[in-house]
Amino acid sequence: MRLVMDLGLEIESSTFCEQNFRIRRRIALAHFYHAYTLAQDHPEIFLSWCDDQQIQGGAILPKGGNKSVVQHRFADLIFSRAEIHSGTPSACSLRHGDDAKRKVAKIQMWRKSGKKWAQVIQRFGYGILLLLPSSLTDEE
């Protein structure tokens, strides 16, 4: 009997954890969008901050001016940190073309999703995230 009650509790807490994860991810995407947009709007400030923090642009930078440099520096910043915490190779792996393209593509996907969530949050407030159906994905 106790096992059945524990299973019900586990199912309910799993549902809560999934909802909590989705909400936190959507807020993080919105915050990412704001930070990325701010860096794109003020590249000199962002790039000088990166230089002060000794964050090196490891990627081969394509033609495209400051916006492209900011995008690649964002990738260096985010993924070098993730690799340090996960124990995988350092940011020097970003120098490889395919890896750099994959990471930049992920940045672009986050920016696109983050823009949608930032607009929803700005219009309705954070509370709206609690009312959204669980079937709604971050891409929709």
The confidence score (pLDDT) of residue 28 equals: 94
Contact 72, 78 (CB under 8 A): no
DSSP for 48-75? HHHHHTT----SPPPSSHHHHHHHHHHH
Share of the chain above pLDDT 70, in %: 69
What is the per-residue pLDDT for 93?
45
Average pLDDT over residues 82-101: 56
- Output the pTM of the full model: 0.70
Q: Which residues contact 31 (CB under 8 A, 6 or more apart)?
A: 114
**Residue 46: pLDDT band with limits 50, 70, 90:** confident
CA-CA distance, 104 to 46, in Å (whole number)?
17
